[in-house]
């Protein structure tokens, strides 16, 4: 997914979590912090590519990560997201860092991972295992029009969610998604074990 595609997608995700009232910060938090955190989080995973937007600005960070893990390696994993979550928890409790900003940043980062999963290349979500997670509705090549259309569609769906919508009504659907995701992960792991045992 392109940088602008990620930015669009992250803002749509922000509208969605705001409407679903995932946490009080997404509903009542400072709008500027929400937007800044989401956009920054949406760009950060691609710092592992020296030619990405942040990669060009911070080459002294991007080049070592790229050499060590390659593009779409560690920074595109659940592990990286969890580490940022742990670090940010420490930051918000030990220093003056806006909790709203941190939550928005984590949302933006996660939306980037989901966005890249929609491409044919996918991501190693469970890095360091090389299992590839992809739901390639965006196909092989970067198609900005399609990326933007999906982001706009998500934003429209999010806007259509009533403001007082209770997340609890979504719980059965979320549980079904969680169940299918766990089955998918186990299937992939079994496939990998079978491949290695041959």
**Residue ranges in contact with Zn ion by CB under 5 A:** 45-46, 116
Q: How far is the CB of 124 from Zn ion (least distance, A)?
A: 11
Cα–Cα distance measured from residue 110 to residue 14, given in angstroms and rounded to the nearest whole number? 11
DSSP secondary structure letter of residue 165 = -
Select 45 or 108, whichever has its Cβ closest to Zn ion: 45
Select 46 or 147, whichever has its Cβ closest to Zn ion: 46
Select 45 or 73, whichever has its Cβ closest to Zn ion: 45
Per the CB < 8 A criterion, the answer to whether 27 and 163 are in contact is: no
Cβ neighbours of residue 147 closer than 8 Å, sequence gap 6 or more: 1, 2, 4, 5, 8, 9, 115, 138
Select 101 or 123, whichever has its Cβ closest to Zn ion: 123
Q: How far is the CB of 94 from Zn ion (least distance, A)?
A: 30
Looking from the CA of 128 toward its CB, the CA atoms found within 13 Å total: 2
Q: How far is the CB of 112 from Zn ion (least distance, A)?
A: 6
Instruction: Spell out the alpha helix ranges (H) of the chain.
Output: 3-19, 24-28, 31-43, 53-57, 59-69, 78-94, 99-117, 144-160, 171-197
Q: How far is the CB of 158 from Zn ion (least distance, A)?
A: 22
Cα–Cα distance measured from residue 73 to residue 117, given in angstroms and rounded to the nearest whole number? 13
Q: How far is the CB of 119 from Zn ion (least distance, A)?
A: 9
Select 24 or 136, whichever has its Cβ closest to Zn ion: 136
């Amino acid at each position: 997914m392109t940088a602008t595609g990620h930015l669009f997608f992250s803002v749509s995700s922000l509208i969605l979590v705001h409407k679903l009232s995932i946490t009080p910060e997404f509903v009542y938090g400072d709008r500027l912090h929400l937007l800044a955190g989401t956009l920054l989080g949406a760009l950060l995973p691609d710092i592992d590519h020296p030619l990405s937007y942040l990669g060009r600005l911070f080459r002294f960070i991007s080049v070592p990560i790229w050499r060590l893990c390659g593009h779409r390696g560690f920074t595109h994993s659940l592990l990286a997201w969890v580490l940022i979550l742990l670090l940010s928890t420490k930051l918000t409790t030990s220093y003056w860092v806006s909790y709203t900003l941190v939550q928005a940043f984590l949302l933006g980062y996660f939306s980037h991972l989901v966005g890249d999963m929609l491409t044919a290349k996918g991501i190693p979500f469970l890095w360091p295992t090389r299992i590839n997670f992809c739901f390639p509705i965006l196909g092989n090549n970067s198609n900005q029009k399609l990326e933007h259309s999906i982001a706009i569609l998500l934003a429209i769906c999010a806007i259509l969610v009533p403001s007082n919508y209770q997340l609890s009504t979504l719980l059965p659907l979320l549980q079904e998604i969680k169940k299918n995701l766990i089955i998918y992960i186990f299937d992939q792991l079994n496939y990998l074990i079978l491949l290695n045992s041959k």
